[in-house]
Amino acid sequence: MIAWAGDSIISSLGFTTEECYRSVASGQSGIRLYSSFMGLPEPQMASLIDRERLADSFAADSFAAVNPCSGGYTALEKAAILSVGSAAAAAQVDLSDPDVLFVFSSTKGNVHLLDEGERQAGRDHIYLWYVARLIAEHFKNPNEPVAVSNACISGACAQLVAMRELESGQYGCAVVVGVEMLSKFIVSGFQSLKALSPEPCRPFDAARAGLNLGEAAATIVYRRVDSEDEVSSGIALQQGAIRNDANHISGPSRTGEGSFRALQALLRGVAPGDVAFINAHGTATAYNDDMEATAITRAGLQATPVNSLKGYFGHTLGAAGVLESIISARALANGTALATHGFKRGEKEPPVNVTDKNTHTEKAYCIKMLSGFGGCNAALLFKYVKEKSNTCRKP
């Protein structure tokens, strides 16, 4: 079994998981209108990490001072290092132990460095494998890290890579860190697809107009245990599935085929009635939300509460799977199905049970769904169990 040992989030809503979760539970969104945005001519709705707070936190952090990079760190690398350090402290894990594996998730990494005018760091910082290695080496970890980049399902893929490595017995702990920082390159790409909303996004709402982009660094520390009695934080990653339908490079399958098959794989041995809630990808684009509603209905989960966290954090791309898993796991442990920020009930409602307010639940399971460009789809199943010990075990 793969147990949750610790976590940490840095986002527009705070620099700890607790700070971010409290903001979400109280209905606060980190999405703001920025009139001047990275040299683009149009104002943008986005969810951004406070750069000044990030710099100050990094300068004051004990982990940051241990092994500084000779060429300096980018903002993305600083956010990742801070998040990893906090999660490791919560999990009481020695990151220099060869029993610990680093798994890094991002879709774009330091893509802004392709612009010569933006290049404050060396050219190697452009490569995801280099950033993954830089983070692992910062904590003096001797293992070659794994870099995962598979569109917007990257955060789920990274967790499944960690799960398989732990189940193989090669490692006792895995650190999964997902991070994304926005740049002119990223925003312009989504603008070209006409996918961005000029107002705060409204997942699953009939009047939704597109997505808002966001930034985050989020980390989960997983460890392999032999039974539920050893699960430390009350959460275990039970299983996951990735299904590719290859429908279109940017458009989701209208029948939700890949997403449906991923859900179908998760529900083997788990009754739909045992699922507390589904945290959908919920980007607030017309086709994504329709596709997910179709897949959820086909899987027999139409009565299960469904929420999206995009109205709080924006779409954080390669960090979304990790960030939203953390918030969902915390909600499950607290017995809460969180509200979908921006969704309002009306005459035309989706065929699934979208939450418009926080509701109580005593059920043991939750599902995290993700979908991405190229027809990739993923789903993760988490279980809440009793809290026990909190130490890493070697295989």
Q: Which residues are catalytic?
A: 157, 281, 315
As a whole number of Å, the CA-based R_g of the chain is 19
The residue among 315, 379, 373, 378 whose CA lies nearest residue 151 is: 373
Round to whole Å and give the CA distance between 219 and 165: 17
Cα atoms found within 13 Å of the Cα of residue 390, Cβ hemisphere only: 14
